[in-house]
Amino acid sequence: RKEVEQDPGPFNVPEGATVAFNCTYSNSASQSFFWYRQDCRKEPKLLMSVYSSGNEDGRFTAQLNRASQYISLLIRDSKLSDSATYLCVVTGYSSASKIIFGSGTRLSIRP
């Protein structure tokens, strides 16, 4: 089983749609979880951290399910500018812990 697994997509949805991504991780000792977005040939940029209680930032909602070892990202009212690859990131407890990136889910928003 891969350490961090994501559906590669691509997800092709119309503007205004709601889209959801899932990510599963294999190490039950993982502590920190993030969603990053990466535009083509650019660096990853932090989208949001994922907290145990779930968290929301505008149109974006992230959830963590430790029992099932997955995290999710929900994008509501999608915009053309949301087109990117979304990376699930899992780390250990400290800032020096090994960081594992998923392969990413590609999202394309059409007008």
Residues numbered 41 to 60 that lie near another protein (CB under 8 A) are 41-46, 49
Nearest CA among 86, 100, 96, 87 for reference residue 30 = 100
The token duo for 107 is 């999202």
By beta-carbon proximity to another protein, the closer residue of 17 and 100 is: 100
CA gyration radius, the chain: 13
Q: Is 95 among the residues that bind another protein (CB under 8 A)?
A: yes
Q: Is 66 among the residues that bind another protein (CB under 8 A)?
A: no
By beta-carbon proximity to another protein, the closer residue of 17 and 44 is: 44
User: For residues 72 and 34, what is the distance between their CA atoms, to the nearest angstrom?
Assistant: 10
46, 34 Cβ separation under 8 angstroms: yes
By beta-carbon proximity to another protein, the closer residue of 45 and 79 is: 45
Where on the chain is the footprint of another protein (CB under 8 A)?
31-32, 34, 38, 41-46, 49, 87, 91, 93-104
